[in-house]
Copies of this chain bind each other. A is one copy, B any other.
Amino acid sequence: MLMSYEESLKILHSHIKTYEKVEKIALTECLGRILATDIKADKNQPEFLTSAMDGYAIKFEDQEKPLKILGITPAGKMPEFKVLNGTCVKTFTGSLMSEGSDTLVPVENIRIENNMLYIEKKVPKNFAVREIGENYKKDEILLKKGTKLNYSEVALLAELGFFHISVFIKPIIGILSSGSEIKDLGEALENPAQIRSSNHIAIANLAKKLNCDTRVFPLLKDDEKATFSTLKSALQSCDILVTTGGVSMGDFDFLKKAIQEYELIINKADIKPGRHIKIAKANEKFIIALPGFPYSAMVMFNLYAREILNAWLLQPKDYICKAFLQGNYKKKTPYLEFIACNVEFKNGRILANLEGKKEGSSAIINNLNNKAALMIAPKECEILENGSLVDIVFMP
């Protein structure tokens, strides 16, 4: 009996150790990288009362009377004047409020006569004054270890004065595509039985989107000896070695044999596509033997390699959610099926449909285009009905 998907994940997780590889990189290079430490505020922000508009810093109770203008506080300069009753200081967006002031009257609300300020439209107390610590307070943890650095997180690091940032080193994914029928980019096909390899470049790009570096190894021909030795040497240059092809029932499926030299932890699972999946361990490293069909290979990479990467890089499994199925889906196999679907957001609902998806095809382009996800059809069910809630997995 084949192992269930849930069981295979459980076994996989029992073998994943904490990933401790950390490097420092420049703030200007860290978009999309994963933070490897918590980040704390070293002071309140703002540190002092700050003006949120262009106007005049006053005492709130002074709005009825003309006020003497003591001078100005340009942004970036320390205030020179103290606001006492009957006085005010011209203050700009981002400038500190003068000592003694508590309220800012915007320029739109005033008129000036003989260097005296007349307030024509009153404002509430503390108007347009940004409080101390309004954005964040001293010692507050602002970013947690494992945070993916998007533009706003990077902006915060800049504001805090960080320049050299601790991030996780990108795990290295090695990619070894096998099959005597496949030719590499730029190689001529010798006969119509040959095809151009796309798996290696697809997986490399998928891995890049998951915060990995990649090593694309030379294509592997169906040769038993070469398969054993290449697997061994390729493994030295990566953290996870992904192979494609060579794992089903054919006479030339040497990868299936070669991977058994290592600690085989998963050997087939009752899922479609990709039930021939094999995963082995070699010390801290993993070898994942994927099927040769591009669509199946991508799906399996997403289900297994992504699982390891998420655990290593502390990423949430937030790419699975529920969607309303449009149309019926009749299951084709007794396995847990992952079916390419389109996802649409409509009137506040997440909809999944199978339009244009080719069943059992090796084509990944119709199945896994920009808007695609995988719909999960559970083992025990026979039909997924129109309008029912189904689980979907977003691809990277």
Chain A 207-222: CB-based contact to B (< 8 A → 1; otherwise 0): 0110000000000001
Q: Are A158 and B248 in contact (CB under 8 A)?
A: no
Query: Which of B48, B150, B322, B360 has a CB less than 8 Å from the CB of A369?
Result: B150
Which residues of B are found within 8 Å of A298, using beta-carbon distances?
Answer: 151-152
Contacts of A185 in B (CB 8 A): 27-28, 158, 163
Please name all residues of chain B whose beta carbon is closer than 8 Å to the beta carbon of A328 when the two chains form the complex. none
Q: Is the CB of A136 within 8 A of B75?
A: no
Check: A389 CB closer than 8 A to any chain B CB. Answer: yes
- Assuming the contacts A76-B193, A179-B76, asked whether A209 and B322 have C-beta atoms less than 8 A apart, the reply is no
Given A163-B186, A369-B153, also A361-B251 (CB < 8 A): no
**Interface flag for A264 (CB, 8 Å):** no
Number of copies: 2
A155 lies within 8 A of B199 (CB): yes
Q: Name the B residues within 8 Å of A94 (CB-CB).
A: 179, 181, 195, 292
Whole-angstrom distance between the alpha carbons of A192 and B253 in the complex?
68
CA distance A47 to B196 in the complex (A): 13
Q: Which of A11-41 contact B (CB under 8 A)?
A: 27-28, 31
Chain B contacts for A76, CB-based, 8 A: 179-182, 191, 193-194
A77 to chain B: closest residue by CB = B193
The distance from the CB of A160 to the nearest CB of chain B, in whole angstroms, is 8
Contacts of A120 in B (CB 8 A): none
Interface size class of A (residues with CB under 8 A): 35 or more
> Given that A196-B159, A292-B94 are known contacts, is A152 also in contact with B250, CB under 8 Å in the complex?
no
Bound form: Cα–Cα A203–B194 in Å: 47
Nearest-CB residue, chain B, relative to A209: B151
Whole-angstrom distance from the CB of A88 to the nearest CB of chain B?
15
Whether, in the assembled complex, A370 has its beta carbon less than 8 Å from a beta carbon of chain B, the answer is: yes
User: Measuring CB to CB, which residues of chain A are less than 8 angstroms from any residue of chain B?
Assistant: 27-28, 31, 45, 47-48, 52-55, 72, 74-79, 90, 92-96, 106-108, 130, 134-136, 142-143, 147-148, 150-156, 158-161, 163, 179-182, 185-186, 191-199, 201-206, 208-209, 222, 248-253, 292-294, 298, 321-324, 345-350, 358, 360-370, 372, 389, 396
A48-B192, A74-B252, A76-B191 given; 11 more Cβ-contact pairs under 8 Å: A55-B249, A76-B193, A76-B194, A90-B251, A96-B192, A96-B193, A130-B361, A135-B363, A135-B365, A152-B372, A155-B198
17 of the cross-chain contacts (CB-CB < 8 Å) are A75-B193, A76-B181, A77-B181, A77-B191, A92-B252, A94-B181, A96-B192, A135-B361, A135-B366, A136-B365, A147-B370, A151-B209, A153-B369, A155-B205, A163-B186, A322-B347, A349-B350
Q: Shortest 8 CB-CB distances between A and B: which pairs?
A: A76-B181, A155-B202, A75-B181, A151-B205, A135-B363, A155-B198, A321-B345, A54-B250
